[in-house]
Amino acid sequence: MAKQGQTANRSLDGLTSAANAAVAGNAPGTKGLPPVDLWNPPFCGDLDMRIARDGTWFYLGTPIGRPALVRLFSTILKRENGKHFLVTPVEKVGIQVDDAPFVAVEMRVETGEGGQRLQFRTNVDDWVPCDGAHRLRFERAPDDGLMPYLHVRADLWAKVTRALYYDLVELGEERMIDGRPMFGVVSAGEFFKMADADEVRAPID
């Protein structure tokens, strides 16, 4: 069994074939993601693959220019103990993620009897609802602004682009939380706090 830091002896074609086989193993007629959380294969080393802060995937330092391939690899992505892996039923290889593995690049606002509902499209074309199971969180940026993240699945998150952050601010409202005026955004009946009401309009990277 390989140890952390050991390089995996794996070609991109070989990993692609393994990923395709894993996805094909889903029940016929289903469109769900592979059950990576149920797989516990041996660790086979770290792969020279990186997801940059802007969501670009790199292999051996070169961007992976095929969206379908990026989409495929994203379906077998798993996070354990703060580290990201690509997982199939027979192997697990480590990859580097500079920030979040996904980027939320588009937002859709829906209104109805249940109130406002937000949905986000990721850079791999998945639509993710913003609700109690897929929460927004806001972290401090190095410049003391805010960086929003959306929970996608399991322990995987999407960084929300700056443009969408400003859209969220426009949709925001103030509420009293524990006696303090807080600014946040509502979706699917949930109030997602950004920060104190007088702080949220600072720019972010």
Q: Examine residue 149 and state whether it is found in any structural domain, yes or no.
A: yes
Categorize the per-residue pLDDT at 30 as very low, low, confident or very high, splitting at 50, 70 and 90: very low
The tally of domains found in the chain comes to 2
Residues 127 and 140 placed together within one structural domain of the fold? yes
Per-residue pLDDT tens for 118-142?
A: 999 999 999 999 999 999 999 988 8
Categorize the per-residue pLDDT at 196 as very low, low, confident or very high, splitting at 50, 70 and 90: confident
Q: Examine residue 64 and state whether it is found in any structural domain, yes or no.
A: yes
Domain of residue 127 covers 102-196
Domain limit, last residue, from 56, 81, 97: 97
- Report angle CA 111, 117, 118 to the nearest 5 degrees: 125
**Measured distance CA(163)–CA(156) in Å, rounded:** 21
Is a pLDDT exceeding 70 seen at residue 200?
no
Categorize the per-residue pLDDT at 148 as very low, low, confident or very high, splitting at 50, 70 and 90: very high
Looking at residues 53-74, what average pLDDT do you find? 96
pLDDT at 18: 83
Q: Examine residue 51 and state whether it is found in any structural domain, yes or no.
A: yes
| C-alpha closest to that of 137 among 152, 128, 150 | 150
Domain limit, last residue, from 60, 82, 97: 97
pLDDT at 11: 73
**Measured distance CA(64)–CA(56) in Å, rounded:** 8
Residues 77 and 42 placed together within one structural domain of the fold? yes
Residues 107 and 93 placed together within one structural domain of the fold? no
Q: Where are the alpha helices (DSSP H) in the chain?
A: 12-24, 67-74, 162-171
Q: Is residue 198 within 8 Å of 124, Cβ to Cβ?
A: no
Looking at residues 193-202, what average pLDDT do you find? 75
